Chain A
Amino acid sequence: MIFTHGLHLRAVLMQALRTFFIGRGYLEVETPLRIPGLAPEAYIVPLTSEGWFLQTSPELCMKRLLAAGIPKIFQLCKCFRKGERGDRHLPEFTMLEWYAAKSDYRDLMAECEALLRYLAAAMGKAGVLEWQGRRIDLGAEWERITVAEAFRCYAPCTVEEALAQDRFDEMLVEYVEPHLGMATPTFLCDYPAALGALARLSPVDVTVAERFELYVAGLELANGFSELVDPVEQRTRFLAEQEAIRLQGRDPGPMPEVFLDGLFTMPPAAGIALGVDRLVMLFAGADNIDQVVAFTPEGL
């Protein structure tokens, strides 16, 4: 079934997103969907196309644009991730990514707040979002909680124990996520260092990465971080991810050498990826991602 309400709302939201970023001096860019190599990530499986890959994120190409000297960029594009299908997942989905030079993850969090408040006003829902029986106050100060604190508050074990038992994701989904973004949106911050392959480590605590996830009403909306711009360290992290992929019996593909070369000229920066379909879900009151796209893979 095609839900026309979701499609109308989606179109208005896309325009509002563009207006917001253009107004803040961001340049809209387009980078190729089909690329010869990806940032290796242990749990993101790409689709292949004639020996190349469909992008799982525009991250590498966009960072190369930053390294080439464009300070603020954004992109609205399709991304592809094999096997991801559920109420909140489509194997082909729409991503918003934006990157800003001379910024860090705190600046991004502030910009997320400004973005959602702007969109709510543009959609005639100033101040408050209502989703699945929840009222989320966008105007109040948004909650910021570290991963370690969140585990202490909500999970039956510490984050260190969850990692040691290889149960971090189960614990996060089962015990932590249901509490996030309920009164105000929540930034879940400072992920364990091992869980931010492209993020800079915190200068005050090297056991955590300057990475956050934004949650609204338990729905994970965006993932942002202070970018790692050290090419030597980045190569070491990529090698570790590639090894993890090999252990799963998959081919990690080639090392993204051109990207690593580009890091030598990349300024300090921060970048974020936001799931546009989920953003539409929030504004449309939809509890299933199928209600905010024209067609699902099964409907074709």
Chain B
Amino acid sequence: MGIRDIFGRNININHEIRDRYDNVSSGFMFKDNPDLKDNKHIFMLCLALGYRVNNRLPFKDPVGLLNVSSFSDEDLWTIASIAVDETKDLKFITNGPEMKKIASEYAHGGLAELEQLIADYGSDEALELALEKIARESLDA
């Protein structure tokens, strides 16, 4: 069984979260960039930012609005790594639904972080530099 089979078809967020994703993706550095059209990029950014500040936030009315097929294998292994880190149980990677739940909740927590970064840095260049700084810090840590 491959990692994709374990994850199934969809990852849950809800309509309110998707609206906030759309708000982010309709402007800023995501706008007019066909390569970043899919909301999964915002989900992954939010997931990482939520995980970074350890903000796991449950949400109401989950709906499978993100398609697993749009995630890369690297993305899925990153999600799995976070879930295993959270549960400290390697065998947890066979539990697709629970791994997705953990990821969605971290991404929900991280959405506020991303929105705050956008509010703080606004322009594309400044936002890119802020993200690059966070990423470099994580690599240097």
Q: Are A and B associated in one complex?
A: no
